[in-house]
């Protein structure tokens, strides 16, 4: 059944937001995060320090999409105030691997004794720090930090070997919002 849907989210006091050409930019101090918002049949505008999603004839599909974007906006508001930090750990049983960053890639050499290095893509908004066996991935954008951590973990996936014996790799040990 089609009905009018109006949902809004309050903008925090120390965050300023602008919405132009389907792109929402949120800024607090030096941190800035942008997100493209496009939901068919839904109008997005900022008024009275709130971001308002309005749909004249919406159904549950538009409602779900609006609620999803509101969840993304909560992450953006949290991110412009504090960085999201992922912690990864290097585990090597058979061969010691070495890590270094080269521009927008993380270079992994000598993984399982392989001659060719492996690469993990670092998204441009993310900073990666390597300290011995520990890697710290941090960014104001939660999606970018999470994707970079996943890229690093996936680059060291073991194929065609017994995982019970070859337990080498880089693994996520701590995520934001979860206590492991």
CATH number of the domain where residue 76 is located:
3.90.930.12
Whether 41 and 112 share a structural domain: no
Percent of residues, the chain, with pLDDT higher than 70: 98
Whether 76 and 126 share a structural domain: no
Total domain count, the chain: 2
The rounded Cα 21 to chain-centroid distance in angstroms is 23
Q: How far is CA 153 from CA 3, 77, 109, 138, 147, in A?
A: 44, 27, 14, 15, 10
The answer to whether residue 179 is domain-embedded is: no
Q: Across residues 128-147, what is the average pLDDT?
A: 94
Does pLDDT of 165 surpass 90?
no
Question: How many other CB atoms are there within 10 angstroms of residue 35's CB atom?
Answer: 16
Cβ contact 15:28 at 8 Å = yes
Reported as a pLDDT band with limits 50, 70 and 90, residue 142 is very high
CA nearest to 90, candidates 176, 175, 180, 167? 167
Does pLDDT of 180 surpass 60?
no
Please tell me the predicted confidence (pLDDT) of residue 4: 92
Residue 148 domain boundaries: 84-174
Please tell me the predicted confidence (pLDDT) of residue 178: 64
Does pLDDT of 94 surpass 80?
no
């Amino acid at each position: 059944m089609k009905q009018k849907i109006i949902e809004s989210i309050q903008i925090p006091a120390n965050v300023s937001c602008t919405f132009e050409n389907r792109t929402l930019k949120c800024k607090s101090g030096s941190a800035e995060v942008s997100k493209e918002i496009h939901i068919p049949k839904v109008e997005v505008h900022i008024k009275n320090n709130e971001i308002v999603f309005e749909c004249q004839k919406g159904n549950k599909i538009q409602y779900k999409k609006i609620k999803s974007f509101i969840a993304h906006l909560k992450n953006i508001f949290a991110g412009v105030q504090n960085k999201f930090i992922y912690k990864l750990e290097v585990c090597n049983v058979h061969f010691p691997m070495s890590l270094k960053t080269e521009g927008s890639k993380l270079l992994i050499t000598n993984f399982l004794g392989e001659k060719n290095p492996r690469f993990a893509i670092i998204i441009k908004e993310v900073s990666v720090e390597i300290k011995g066996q520990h890697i710290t991935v941090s960014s104001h954008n939660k999606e970018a930090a999470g994707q970079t951590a996943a890229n690093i973990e996936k680059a060291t996936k073991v194929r065609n070997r017994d995982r019970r014996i070859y337990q080498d790799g880089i693994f996520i040990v701590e995520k934001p919002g979860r206590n492991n």
